[in-house]
Amino acid sequence: MSDIIKLEDLEDRIIEIREKKVLIDADVAEIYGVETRDINKAVGNNPDKFPDGYVFELSDKEKKELVENFHRFNRLKHSTVNPKAFPEKGLYMLATILKSQQAVRATLAIIETFSKIRELSRNIKTLSNVKGEREQQNLMQKSGEIIAEILDDDLQTTDTETSIELNFAVLKFKHTIKKKNK
């Protein structure tokens, strides 16, 4: 894995199970540069650090849906062990156990990603209820800045501006990013 862990690399791995945003143990292991068994061993050896809500094991049905919906989990199809899912606070706790440089970088990137997704989600929910045009513009600007931060490293500009347009069913969001050519 490269020295720098990018937000967009993590964003694609965050999935929703039981109405929680989580990372699956196999993805956590890959991000942290260890084997999945090492992640699960860390959890098993430190049960006091992982109370309810910090990690949960997927049911057989959830595992089946995971394999059907995400190609990267095909290897779990015939596994006798159900994967574990880590919500944000479980990942923080895991970071206290795994202390390699890569684990530290991964933890920081995970924290930033979850934070940006939460902030963007709050802004989008708030936008649908805001009546004042000035407040809407401010929220749209902040949301656009968050999107730009997440996408920034791979954002290709051919001129001085790039537009990002998102359609959220009840709300259409357009943000223009202006960059000076170097």
- In this predicted structure, what is the pLDDT of residue 151? 57
70 within some domain:
yes
Q: Is residue 167 a part of any domain in this protein?
A: yes
Mean pLDDT over 102-131 rounds to: 74
For residue 60, pLDDT beyond 90: yes
- When the pLDDT of each residue in the chain is averaged and rounded to a whole number, the result is 76
Q: What average pLDDT score do residues 129-149 get?
A: 74
The total number of structural domains in the chain stands at 2
The domain containing residue 97 runs over which residues?
7-118
In terms of domains, do 137 and 114 share one?
no
Q: Are residue 101 and residue 138 in the same domain, yes or no?
A: no
Q: What is the DSSP string of 18-82?
A: TTEEEEEHHHHHHHHTS-HHHHHHHHHH-GGGS-TTT-EEPPHHHHHHHHHH-GGGGGGTT-SSP
Per-residue H/E/C for 142-162: HHHHHHHHHHHHHCCCCCCEE
Task: Render pLDDT for 151-181 as a digit per residue (tens, 0 to 9).
Answer: 555 544 444 444 445 554 444 555 555 554 4
Q: Is residue 2 in a domain? A: no
Judgement on whether residues 113 and 145 belong to the same structural domain of the protein: no
Does one domain contain both 98 and 155? no
